A and B are shown apart, each in its own frame.
Chain A
């Protein structure tokens, strides 16, 4: 796998000291998403900011600089709020970003925190009108006596300016914490899911939404599961899936898939909770991630997954420590490549893993500054059991750094470009050569 730049200073100038392990919490990336063409990459962080990267067009003069992602725009999406009724502070952390398919010159994206979803318009301005009759260059109204002739204002090129403006605010529809948003293939509606309910919105209507799933029990003491993720089918606008903390997937409507693995007597519920679900691009398969595995499901086969991939099974014996330090609650995301032949997901120690569904080969790679100089080729890593035979560059399970976790990953919709969020750094890797991963 190839190379590419890591985050520009814009993301971590707020306090990241390279020599120390100190990270400003507001800079921690909480979501990553390519748009539908892959030209734009949006990241959200715990401080409520969104940073959009744009891929540079291919340049004939410098073939190797083609396709690098540079900062395109930065804006504050959400601010911390206070719910006075419940005496709760609402975090500004961006939980999810989803792009709308582009329909005109502007781009639109949805961003959400725990409670409120916002629709943003991202537009470019690279021209501005000059030669006003009644205003001067600075915009001040001219004294009418000084106007002696009339001219037609002309659009002149200017430095590219990216403007981001909030177009809709969808608020007050969720009692619990919003964990997913998904845009429908009809491009008119989208859904937002919290722990117990899923609401359907029309993009133009902010004062009401339709509740389409409600799993809140009549008596909260009877609660046994929550919704963990939800997504619309990429082609069928009536189908969507939601996953639960019990490890079940529900394809709505009416179809249902159940999963039940018993791992340990204490933690079986936690490790079967599905943290992310993604439709394949074809719409035929589902990819789910629970704590230790990633599973591919066939929509036509309910009873069990088609494929199960062990992401970091060596953690199975460490579940108690991981419960103690809260790592067992980490929610890893997963991603398909453009052709649905490879799946990717993150792990600890800044490792991320890819599984080729056809060749059944897998690789573990690391996102770190040391191993990611521009143009460097990533070296496959290996985790071995404690005390086991180690080759050079292997790392033992006990040496893994559990503070370095890759929760959010994204794969370019068509090309082999991946975005990896490692705490407060964004890594973008490109495959320049046709590697064996296809």
Chain B
């Protein structure tokens, strides 16, 4: 008797279930069933939207905390009259902090999300090995994303977040079934530099390179003023901040696959949330190659 106990209706499990179904459909007798795969892709899209929204909410909460902490620290440490001198000193440390932040936050976020990393990785690699991918990395300008992260008003830039990519995939070798070209894709997928990573740039509370004291007794009334100011200052630095994260892992995870299958049948794009429409056309165009894998007959 099939159990009808309610499974955890969370986006993560639906995403992994859907991917397994798509994978299994390739070996089903009678060929790929178009109708069923179409319905599964709808579930995948819906679950992805929920997953991303949840992630954004989480990141946003964390970001708010980090911003407050950073501003408090900087009130403590910055002398407003010595800005130029400090710029050069802080630039490198900021960059390191940025990368460090990315790594630690990415890890934290992904560990929360990836309940069964091995299973997902197997699925992911199985899918990836069968999927054609567009040649090379058409990577959008990192500055496009990062600059939009540092609007003065946290609310407005929350609304403008493009689709979330928590984690970087380090390297994948794929065979494009259309052109028969073998491609090694490094540094992950196309909107991996989306803002959650950039968010934390410069928030050095946990930076290994530069330890800052965490002070809670800062003055609230000055926080916003200072944050605007420091945001503007940091914007220029951040564009140099590399997103090649030294702490990549070897396995893809569900976040990657969400982005891969994210647009599903890209005709669904028009119904996606505003969040995702900010994604560059390039990023989405490359997903077309992946979706061909689903519909290939």
Contact = CB atoms under 8 A, between A and B. Distances in A.
Interface of A: 83, 86, 88-91, 93, 114, 175-177, 179, 195-196, 217, 219-226, 228, 245, 265-270, 273, 317-318, 320-327, 329, 397-403
B31 A269 contact: no
Nearest to A314: B4
B266 A222 contact: yes
B41 to A, nearest CB: 9
Contacts of B75: none
B288 interface: yes
Nearest to B24: A326
A317 to B, nearest CB: 7
Interface string B265-290: 11110000000000000000000100
A47 to B, nearest CB: 13
A398 B38 contact: no
B39 A321 contact: no
Interface of B: 1-9, 14, 17, 21, 29-31, 33-36, 38-39, 42-43, 46-47, 50, 265-268, 288, 291-292, 295, 297
A221 B33 CA distance: 15
A269 B14 contact: no
Contacts of A226: 34-35, 38
3 smallest beta-carbon distances between A and B, as pairs: A222-B267, A91-B30, A269-B42
A317 B7 CA distance: 10
Given A89-B30, A175-B297, A223-B267, A320 B7 contact: yes
A267 B265 contact: no
B6 A318 contact: yes
Contacts of B39: 245, 269-270, 273, 329
A126 to B, nearest CB: 40
6 contacts: A89-B30, A177-B30, A195-B34, A223-B34, A266-B43, A402-B1
A224 B30 contact: no
Contact of B35 (A88, A91, A228, A326): A228
B5 A398 contact: yes
B30 A90 contact: yes
B3 A321 contact: yes
A178 to B, nearest CB: 12
A321 B46 CA distance: 16
Contacts of B288: 221
A245 B36 CA distance: 10
Contacts of B266: 221-222
A273 B288 CA distance: 25
A83 B1 CA distance: 36
A267 B267 contact: no
Contacts of A217: 267
A327 B4 CA distance: 11
Given A83-B31, A324-B17, A397-B4, 11 more contacts: A89-B31, A177-B35, A222-B266, A223-B38, A266-B14, A266-B46, A269-B39, A318-B4, A323-B17, A400-B4, A401-B2
Contact of B14 (A91, A225, A320, A327): A320
Contacts of B17: 323-324
Contacts of A322: 4
A177 B2 contact: no
B267 A321 contact: no
Contacts of A114: 30-31
Interface of A (DSSP majority class): loop
Contact of A324 (B7, B267, B268, B292): B7
A83 B30 CA distance: 10
A268 B49 CA distance: 14
B231 to A, nearest CB: 35
Contacts, number: 116
B2 A320 contact: no
Nearest to A402: B2
B261 to A, nearest CB: 12
Contacts of B6: 317-318, 320-321
Contacts of A329: 36, 39
Contacts of B50: 265-266
A245 B41 CA distance: 13
Contacts of A196: 34
A90 B5 contact: no
A224 to B, nearest CB: 5
A401 B50 CA distance: 31
A223 B46 contact: no
A234 to B, nearest CB: 26
Contacts of A83: 31
Contact of A177 (B34, B43, B295): B34
Nearest to B295: A220
Given A266-B43, A266-B46, A402 B4 contact: yes
A148 to B, nearest CB: 63
- Of B8, B43, B288, most buried by chain A (CB within 10 Å of CB) is B43
Contact of A220 (B30, B33, B292): B292
Contacts of A88: 30-31
Contacts of B35: 177, 179, 195, 226, 228, 245, 273
Given A88-B31, A177-B30, A266 B47 contact: yes
Contacts of A220: 265, 292, 295
A86 B297 contact: yes
- Of A267, A268, A269, A273, most buried by chain B (CB within 10 Å of CB) is A269
Contacts of B21: 326
B4 A224 contact: no
Contacts of A326: 21
A71 B104 CA distance: 71
B293 to A, nearest CB: 11
B118 to A, nearest CB: 19
B34 A91 contact: no
B292 A221 contact: yes
Given A88-B30, A175-B297, A226-B38, A221 B291 contact: yes
A88 B297 CA distance: 9
Contacts of A219: 267
A228 B3 CA distance: 28
A318 B4 CA distance: 7
Nearest to B21: A326
Contacts of B292: 220-221
A226 B297 CA distance: 15
B4 A177 contact: no
B4 A225 contact: no
